[in-house]
Structure 1
Amino acid sequence: MTKLNVETRHAVHPDHAKGMDTQTLRDNFLAQGMFADGEIRLVYTHYDRFTVGGAVPAGGSLTLDKVDETRTATFLERREMGIVNIGDAGTVEAAGETYAMNKGDVLYLGMGSGPVTFKGQGRFYITSCPAHHTHASRLITVEDAKKVEMGEAATSNKRTIKMFIHPLVMESCQLVLGYTSLEEGSVWNTMPAHVHDRRMEAYLYWGMAEESRVLHLMGEPTETRHLFVADEEAIISPTWSIHSGAGIGEYTFIWAMAGDNVDYTDMDFVQAAELR
């Protein structure tokens, strides 16, 4: 029997966030310990009902089926899902299909795909949000992704963005997903910072050394806060919050969004001089 753990995170008003101490900020906006051998662990949020989590079959098999928090027969009955393999090779089975996933590959599962089974040595990062239409499931390999190079070495933010579940690559309802890797010597992942009131976002940091950390900036542009984030930890970013940061050493972050649109460029930039 699959061991499933689900944690619920309620939405936080920005006025409430202003008064939070460090531990309260971490309790509300940082997801830790999602990747445990032989378990599926989910964080079900009240931000657009977005869900993040991890499945680590550790050579065995784990099945994600009914999740009580959604009150549906199966988790994907009214949802779509994006899965990123951040570990060794593994497989995912859904709707009678088996998808072989190498490190960095992304699998999109459309609404109504039924139970999802994870096998092998993969470390599967799970993202999911409500859907209103069934789109075709698709495996998008690293080679299939749309790649965009941004930033400059002079501003310490030279990086490569890989788009997977994205209008330039495929169709989805709400879910948009990809990841960004920093070049050697660059540390800033998103600068200038931005907000997008129409979509929430989640960041999973990975590919980091055990001792490394990313200083993740969040909060309203004139009321910024920060969290130190370790490898395989995720930030739940509300619509009112900036999301930017700088890391110690090599790292990649997976960005995943849901909300009113799938327009990746729909963001309101905040220049560094405006931040407080």
Structure 2
Amino acid sequence: MLTVETRHAVDPASAERMGTQELRGAFHAGGLFRDGEIRLVYTHYDRMMIGGATPAGGALTLDHVAQTGTPGVLDRREMAVVNIGAAGAVAACDETFAMEKGDVVYIGMGAGPVTFSGEGRFYILSAPAHRAIPARLVRLSDAKQIRLGSPEAANERTIYQFIVPEAGPSCQLVVGYTKFEPGSVWNTMPAHLHDRRMEAYLYFDLADDARVFHMMGRPEETRHIVMRNEEAVLSPAWSIHCGAGTGPYTFIWAMAGDNVDYRDVDMVAMETLA
């Protein structure tokens, strides 16, 4: 079963007038992982598409998505798939990639249908592409790792980079995730912007009673959205994106836009936040 929801772009002035439920309706994406289903959110932020495939021991195939306007979803797109669950497999372009939790598969433009199988919980990311790039599996052990933060600032963390130029080519997608050390809860603080790219976050590995307070909005007019386990949030180019959790968590970050330079950010001074 395939379900696709469309999210139109929201400008910053409109977001500042929104209440809690309006903000959630525009930027929050929950319920992505349901047994036996593929559930996607097609956004008008750089045409990024996010979603989940949960085969629950069976197999699910993703092919036609009407919102893309093409016969096959990857006719003019690329895709990254992150397994956040148990062992499973992703098959595309006559290749099958066995995936453990934490592994990432990149699938290039023109690869045809994509099949998800096993007990995995597959987080899907897709953006328009301009050339075909061979599919590849990047295991957690092969990801580029960057350690940042400190216990004193409650932000000691490791950034795992999977789809970045240093690890292999992509057209638009830049994908990785960030995992925190015990006792650290703050992510991406000090905050930043990147006006040339949008971003999407998926928070996972939260306890049932844990929450992440995801911060968004213009630096001088901030808002927040409360996130539960395995929920995603859209971050427009004009919005900051940072957060704090009530306990341990990991988040997947994915970007699409004008370039693939992970370091292309505009820092926001702490005194600017309001």
Question: Same-fold call, TM > 0.5?
Answer: yes
In structure 2, C-alpha distance between the alignment counterparts of 1:157 and 1:204, rounded to whole Å: 18
Letter in 1 for 2:8: H
2:3 aligns to what?
5
Q: For the aligned residues, what is the CA RMSD?
A: 0.5
Give the structure 2 partner of residue 185 of structure 1.
183
**Structure 2 equivalent of residue 173 of structure 1:** 171
| Partner Cα distance (1:261, 1:136) in 2 | 20
CA shift for structure 1 position 135: 1.1
1:75 aligns with 2:59: no
1:271 Cα deviation (Å)? 2.0
Cα deviation for residue 256 of structure 1 reads 0.2
Partner of 2:43: 45
Per the alignment, residue 146 of structure 2 pairs with 148
How much does 1:192 deviate? 0.4
Q: Are 2:207 and 1:209 equivalent residues in the alignment?
A: yes
SS at match of 1:155: coil
The percent identity for this pair of structures is: 62
- Aligned counterpart, 1:25: 23
The letter for the 1-side match of 2:222 is T
Secondary structure at 1:153's aligned position in 2? coil
CA deviations over 1:28-72 (Å, ceiling 9, x no partner):
000000000000000000000000000000000100000011110
One-letter amino acid of the counterpart of residue 80, structure 1 = E
**CA separation in 2, counterparts of 1:234 and 1:187?**
17
Q: Which runs of 5+ in 2 are unaligned?
A: none
Partner amino acid, structure 2, of 1:186 = S
Residue 138 of structure 2 aligns to which amino acid in structure 1? I
Matches within 5 A, 1:219-234: 219-234=217-232
Instruction: Describe the SS at the equivalent of 1:186.
Output: coil
Unaligned runs of 5+ in 1: none
Amino acid at match of 1:82: A
Q: Give the match for residue 134 of structure 1.
A: 132
TM-score under structure 1 length normalisation: 0.99
- 1:62 alignment counterpart: 60
Q: What SS does the aligned partner of 2:39 have?
A: strand
Q: Which amino acid counterpart does residue 28 of structure 1 have in structure 2?
A: A
> Counterparts of 1:96 and 1:35 in 2: how far apart (Å)?
26
In structure 1, give the amino acid aligned to 2:216: M
Separation in 2 of the partners of 1:271 and 1:139? 38
- Letter in structure 2 aligned against 1:121: E
Q: Output the CA distance in 2 between the equivalents of 1:205 and 1:248.
A: 13
